[in-house]
């Protein structure tokens, strides 16, 4: 793994054109089974790690990102070169000041493990599942 400044982690898209550095502490890390995440990422589950907007800095390639408004007030951005889904940002309530990044894009360690399942009722039966104490 690459090395980072203490208290930070790096995420990159598949082509490496987009890179962010996120400052700890993260806000949460969750497996999301909602229909919108699953179809947007073409995956059975998407694992997100959330940060306050001010904690996420684009090292390069923010201009490569293309926005897609997946629902009113919610924008998912993806790399225009390689197609990697990179950010989830929403103007709704608790998420208004946050940027959520797929945990899979991190190339250096983050400060927490997944700890919660979001929208488990929308999980396809074939998708992997891990129950947490709070479920
Ligand atoms: Zn890319
Ligand atoms: Zn979701």
Strand arrangement of the beta sheet that strand 85-90 belongs to: 65-71, 74-79, 85-90, 98-102, 46-52, 28-32, 116-118
Task: Give tens-digit pLDDT for 91-116.
Answer: 988 889 999 999 999 999 999 999 99
Q: Is residue 134 part of a domain?
A: no
Q: What is the pTM of this model?
A: 0.94
Q: Is residue 5 part of a domain?
A: no
Interval between CA 91 and ligand 1 midpoint (Å): 25
Structure confidence by residue, pLDDT tens digits, 44-55: 999 999 999 999
Tell me whether residue 83 is in a domain.
yes
User: pLDDT at position 81, please?
Assistant: 98
Question: Closest-lying ligand to the alpha carbon of 45?
Answer: 2
- Going from the Cα of 62 to the center of ligand 2, the distance in angstroms, rounded, reads 22
3 domain residue, yes or no: no
Ligand nearest to the CA of 74: 2
Q: What is the pLDDT of residue 3?
A: 67
Instruction: State the pLDDT at residue 2.
Output: 59
Give pLDDT, residue 5. Answer: 82
Ligand at shortest distance from the CA of 13:
1
Per the structure, the complete domain to which residue 57 belongs is given by: 16-122
- What average pLDDT does range 53-77 have in this prediction? 97
* Residue 133 domain-assigned (yes or no): no
Please give the distance, rounded to the nearest whole angstrom, from the Cα atom of residue 118 to the centre of ligand 1.
27
CA dist 18 and 4 (Å) reads 16
The answer to whether the beta carbons of residues 51 and 98 sit under 8 Å apart is: yes
Which of the ligands is closest to the CA of residue 85? 1
Select, from the ranges 3-7, 27-31, 131-135, the one with the highest average predicted confidence (pLDDT): 27-31
Q: Would you say 81 and 17 are in contact if contact means Cβ atoms under 8 Å apart?
A: yes
Tell me the CATH number at 45: 2.170.150.70
**Burial code of 51-73, b = ≥16 C-beta within 10 A, e = fewer?**
beeebbeeeebeebbeeeeeeee
How many domains would you assign to the chain?
1
Mean pLDDT of the chain: 95
Backbone dihedral angles phi then psi of residue 17, each to the nearest 5 degrees: -70, -25
């Amino acid at each position: 793994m690459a090395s980072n400044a203490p208290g930070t982690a790096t995420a990159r898209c598949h082509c490496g054109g987009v890179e962010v550095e996120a400052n700890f502490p993260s806000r949460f890390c969750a497996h999301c089974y909602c229909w919108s995440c699953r179809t947007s990422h073409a995956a059975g589950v998407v694992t997100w790690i959330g940060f306050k907007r001010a904690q996420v800095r684009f090292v390069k390639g923010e201009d490569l990102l293309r926005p897609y408004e997946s629902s009113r007030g919610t924008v998912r951005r993806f790399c225009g070169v390689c197609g990697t889904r990179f950010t989830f940002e929403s103007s709704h309530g608790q998420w208004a000041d946050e940027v959520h990044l797929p945990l899979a894009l991190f190339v250096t360690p983050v400060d927490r493990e997944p700890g919660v399942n979001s929208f488990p009722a929308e999980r396809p039966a074939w998708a992997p599942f891990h129950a947490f104490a709070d479920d």
